[in-house]
Structures are given as structure tokens and as C-alpha cells.
Amino acid sequence: MAKQNSVIIDPGHGGSDPGAIYGNRREKDDTLALSYDIGNALEQRGIRVEYTRIGDVYNSPYEKAEIGNRSAADLFLSIHRNAMPVPGTGSGTMSLIFGRGGDAETFAKNINKELAKTGWKDLGISERPNLVVLRDTALPAVLVEVGFLDNENDNDFFDANMRQTADAIADGIVRTFAEQEKQMSDVEEPGFYMVQTGIYRVRTNAEREVERLKAQGFPAFMTFKDGFYYVRAGAFRNMENAVRQEQELRKLGYPTLLVKT
């Protein structure tokens, strides 16, 4: 049975932390309402959903990251609204990531594309390596700023198009999962000898092993099939080269298996 993709949604702020405030409007209320709509949209698309909060409660950014890391989710989505020092001078949506490259940037690009289709102005992607919910999560994480809370036009658009906004973000997530699965399946070309080092149910565990292997100088990657993530450390046309790679990995303590596609 194929693994069900899953997302953990973090409605920004909460409890004693209202986030941005503009008149009677509080960021923590908007983020929770939109997060529920996103969750419903994802579940309708067959994606399992978890939340860092389901009410008006406060968790620190460190606790939010830890909740995400303890979950079985594949992606971490944090929902926020923006604000400017001078109210009304900013408009549009943007996505924040820890750093360029990898699944998080793909995740952010797909969300931005879909939000732009609904009429939101696309302010692009920004790197924020010091944000705890991006830095300390072990899974691909994106923080989406959905319009400016201190801009009346953005608020009107947010209220009138909340369902469409949620659907757009959900569609961006679905596209991300589809691209991940295609990327992993494309590696499985026939006629290669591959050195396998591990099999995992949880994507993040497989990703950690891939990063560890890469840090040790091995051309590591992972593939997905029948609900499992397979970590491979090399693909060779020549079996002798694969065997030599396998021997090197075994010396480092990896429980290897030589497989042929």
C-alpha cells in the first residue's frame, strides 16, 4: 500500500502572542482560520494533516519546530500574515525558507505560483535562516506570509477569497509531492547496480541518511516505492564498481545491499 503523504500546519502565533494587530484584527485569528481551510482542502485531496495548534494557545517557535519533528509529516507549513512599519505600504504574499535549494524551495515556488493564480501579488521567496520554525525543523519547511494585515485591500481580498487561497496552497503542496515522487522514480532507470544502505517509512529519516552519506563523499539519493523510502549510495553500470562502493560503505558500518534495476 502506498504511503499517504502528510503535512503539519502551523497557524502562526496564538494565545498570549497575537502577532500583528491592525484595529480589531489579530494575526493569530486569521492564521488559525486559514490553516483550518488549508487542512480541509488537503484532506479532500487525500493528504493527511496535523496542526501545531488547534485553538487559541501559545507554543514557542522552538516548541512548534519540535512538534513538527515529532510528527510523521513530510512537509511543515507555517501560516502568517505580514505587516509594515508604515501601514498600507506593503501588499501581496511571500514565502520564507531557511535556504535555497532542495525540497523547501520547490515547496515555496509551487505555493507562490498557485497563490498568484488567485490574484495575490507574488512577492517571491526570501531566505530567513534565523527563523526557528525554519531552522530547527528536520523536514522541508516553508513560512507563507498571506497578505499584509495592515493593508485594507489585502484584508478585503483575504476575507473574500479565503477558500480560494486555501485551495491554492493545497494545490501547491500536491504539486510538490508529485514532483518529489517523479524525481525519485526517475532515478530508477534500468540496467544499474545500486548500493542500498537503508529503507525507511518516514521521509525525513531517509533524508538524514542521504545527507550523512553526502557529507562522507558518497553520491547518495533516495527513491520511493510501495510506501517506503530507499536510500542508495551510488548507481553503476559496472558491477565491479558497485561492489567496491559497497565494500567502502560496509567499512563505515552501513548495512548495505546490492540491487539491480
Kindly report, residue by residue over 200-235, the tens digit of the pLDDT: 887 778 888 988 898 888 888 888 777 788 898 888
Helix and strand numbers (H, E) in the chain are 8, 12
**Where along the chain do the CATH 3.40.630.40 domains lie?**
6-181
Residue 126's SS3 state is strand
Residues 178, 32: Cα–Cα separation, whole Å: 27
Comparison of pLDDT for 2 and 168, the residue scoring more: 168
Residues 124, 115: Cα–Cα separation, whole Å: 11
54 band by pLDDT with thresholds 50, 70 and 90:
very high
13 band by pLDDT with thresholds 50, 70 and 90:
very high
Answer for the pair 192, 259: CB distance below 8 angstroms, yes or no: no
Residues 40, 17: Cα–Cα separation, whole Å: 25
Output the pLDDT for position 190. 67
Architecture of domain 6-181: 3-Layer(aba) Sandwich (3.40)
**Where along the chain do the CATH 3.30.70.1070 domains lie?**
187-260
Output the pLDDT for position 3. 66
CATH of domain 187-260: 3.30.70.1070
pTM for the whole structure: 0.76
Per residue, what are the HEC states of 224-244?
EECCEEEEEEEEECCHHHHHH
**Residue 1, pLDDT above cutoff 60:** no
**Residue 183, pLDDT above cutoff 70:** no
